[in-house]
Structure 1
Amino acid sequence: MRKTLLRTGSATGVAVAALCGVVAVPASAATAGSGSAYGASASVSLLAGVLGDQGLAVNTGKLARSSTAGPASASVVDAPLKGLLTAKAISSNVKQNGGGVTSTASIVDATLPVLAPLAGGAVSARVIDAKCESTASGITGSSEIAGLDLGRIGTVPAATRPNQTVGLPGLVQITVNEQIKNDDGSLTVNALHIKLLGGQLVGALGSGDVVLSSATCAPAAATAPSTSPAPATTAPAGSNPAGGGKQVTVVPVGAPQTGDGSLDGDRR
């Protein structure tokens, strides 16, 4: 059995991409310092015989979803996704840090029964984590996958760079540490993105996408310039800070300089 521990690398998000069929790229710019995360999502159409005698369409939405708009964290325990995924725990968390944000998603003790026919046995992982963080320096993303066994599908690359793929041509493609630079400036990190490729090949399961552990971060808010008023200064006697015209100095009545107030400019 192949068991893998991956700590995948970082990337800075700025430009364009979209996660096909699962994650929609926002039409407008993301709010600075905002973020979101979810544990799992599936939108697939399975062929007859894969999970039962009849064909099956599954659209789960985003499971255990959190965001800066609320809730800040979410979790699901012992969550089955109609034979696609079982997990001991699925969770996500989003936390704002000053002008930036940290988004995380995690799946613990996961199995993917839907991939068993291709893998020749159970497909499982102890931990599937995704994380992104935005600061004034930019946005970084990373994934951690522990104990992943894909059987005959292949060995997950042990490289540190994002967007490593493994799979069976025409049947399934699995992207590890998928990092998508969205056109609104945000970065999306998907720890695992499983794409069923459909087709008419023997062993085909169907078509669609399963995303496991996803985190998105918008760029941090720019630091606002200080709006504190400048300290007051006293002009030297006889100077003209207005830059022109006759300089007039008014001394309060009774001040030591006047005694009787004879130099008071307001005296009638």
Structure 2
Amino acid sequence: MGLLLTAGLAWTTPARAGSTGSHACSALVNVPLLGVAATFLADTGDPVAPDSLGADLIEAAVPGVLRADVLTASTSLETGHATSSASLADVIVLQGQPAELSASFVRAQADVFDTQGPGRYSGVSEIKDLMFGHQAVTISGRPNQRIDLPGIATLFINEQLTSSQGGVPTLTVNALRLVLLTGDQVLLASARSALDKQATPAVLRGRGGLSRPRALYVWSQPECRDFVTGGGWFEPRFEGGPPQRVNFGFNAGFRTVDGALLGHVNFVDHNDGTHIKGVNVDTYFRLGDPQSLCRMFEGDAEMNGTPGFRYHVEVCDYGEPGRDDRFRIMVFGADGSEAYFADDSSSAKTCDPNEPRCGDLDGGNIQLHKNCDGQPATSSGAASVLLPRI
């Protein structure tokens, strides 16, 4: 069972000690009792100016403490909006111990907007198949849920905290934080966003403020220098696709307008155990859709540890909480033959006319950062043409 938790404010620990800016990490392990000093996994670091940062791992292990797959984190600071997110899949902590903690998917997201009132902060925790102390956990849906194992450990679920040190509004979201009786801690999916107005002009620019035209167009798109991130899971519904859950995580695009093209993709198929690791991103373009919210990127890949493959990924960010977002991956061998395919689209789902490439994501989220359509694309003039679904 998965649950999406939003809103709510409570006490929490910082996403990264000594840091005051935006930041995200998939996991933090600090267990001196077992000889493990503070260790950050899939850690973005802090952007020092309007910028985007990403980090990812296809798998991670801290011996005796933690094991997880498909770890992804991102943070982005732009005009009027700071956002950070982190996720990981198939995580197990302190396996075989009384305080054993596990989940099939964990994600946190923190957003801060340059506005006043209740819309300034937006926090989300998403947790699937949570087990603690060898028992299934019923998640209340409220922030700062606390579960105690007397004399052993305490688990905090969906921690959220706002602050405004130095006039910088900040939101931290920790999806799960395990605290042992000794004080040792393990934190899963931590995201903090801080909106420094001195670093970013106080003008909100984002999809929420754009009108949504009802007519459809065929778009002629120039090069697009923005950035897309995502982490999540779905059970492929496309005919011929695998029937079991798959997990994905990625960062792709240009962190800055004049920066290099960067990124990675990690993908695990629980149907047959396939692991796909996209080691770089060397191609990045818009895909044609009315709102220019879809991107395509490609690069070199390893499949089950074997190099020499190419991957092709298509994604769409169709808003919150991400259930309409699209993720499609194809992998090709050196001879060009298709080696793997998965897609979260559903033939049973009807897409909104303005979201013709909609998917059917079971969990997680895809986010397009600093949409390059700050300068509008040009139309071919072919109005009311329905674009084919990919």
Band the TM-score falls in, shorter-chain normalisation = 0.5 to 0.7
Asked if 2 retains the 8 angstrom alpha-carbon contact of 1:125 and 1:147, the reply is: yes
Task: Please tell me whether residue 149 in structure 1 is matched to residue 131 in structure 2.
Answer: yes
Task: Please tell me whether residue 223 in structure 1 is matched to residue 217 in structure 2.
Answer: no
CA distance in 1, matches of 2:124, 2:104: 17
Equivalent residue for 1:11?
Answer: 8
Larger strand share, 1 or 2: 2
Equivalent residue for 2:186?
Answer: 210
Task: Please tell me whether residue 87 in structure 1 is matched to residue 65 in structure 2.
Answer: no
**Structure 1, gaps ≥5 residues long:** 47-55, 199-206, 225-268
Q: Secondary structure at the match of 2:98?
A: helix
What's the CA shift string for 1:102-149, capped at 9, x where partnerless? 10001111111x153215xx6421111000111123121110011112
Change (3 A) 1:118 1:109: same
Q: Secondary structure at the match of 1:117?
A: coil
- 1:100 is displaced (CA, Å) by 1.1
Asked if 1 retains the 8 angstrom alpha-carbon contact of 2:133 and 2:149, the reply is: no
Asked if 1 retains the 8 angstrom alpha-carbon contact of 2:79 and 2:202, the reply is: no
Asked if 1 retains the 8 angstrom alpha-carbon contact of 2:111 and 2:122, the reply is: yes
Q: Secondary structure at the match of 1:166?
A: strand
**Structure 2, gaps ≥5 residues long:** 204-390
**Runs of 4+ displaced beyond 6 Å:** none
- 1:68 is displaced (CA, Å) by 2.4
- 1:82 is displaced (CA, Å) by 1.8
What is the correspondence of 1:120-131 to structure 2 with a 5 Å cutoff?
123-131=101-109
The normalised TM-score by structure 1 is 0.63
Change (3 A) 1:35 1:68: same
Equivalent residue for 2:229?
Answer: none
- Higher mean C-alpha displacement, 122-131 vs 177-186: 177-186
Task: Please tell me whether residue 139 in structure 1 is matched to residue 121 in structure 2.
Answer: yes
Asked if 2 retains the 8 angstrom alpha-carbon contact of 1:25 and 1:183, the reply is: no
Equivalent residue for 2:358?
Answer: none
- Larger relative contact order (C-alpha < 8 A, sep ≥ 6)? 1
The normalised TM-score by structure 2 is 0.44
Equivalent residue for 2:386?
Answer: none
CA distance in 2, matches of 1:45, 1:108: 25
Equivalent residue for 2:28?
Answer: 41
Change (3 A) 1:12 1:44: closer
Equivalent residue for 1:24?
Answer: 17
Change (3 A) 1:157 1:220: farther
Change (3 A) 1:9 1:25: farther
Q: Secondary structure at the match of 1:8?
A: strand
Change (3 A) 1:18 1:131: closer
Percent identity of the aligned residues? 29
> RMSD between aligned alpha carbons?
2.6
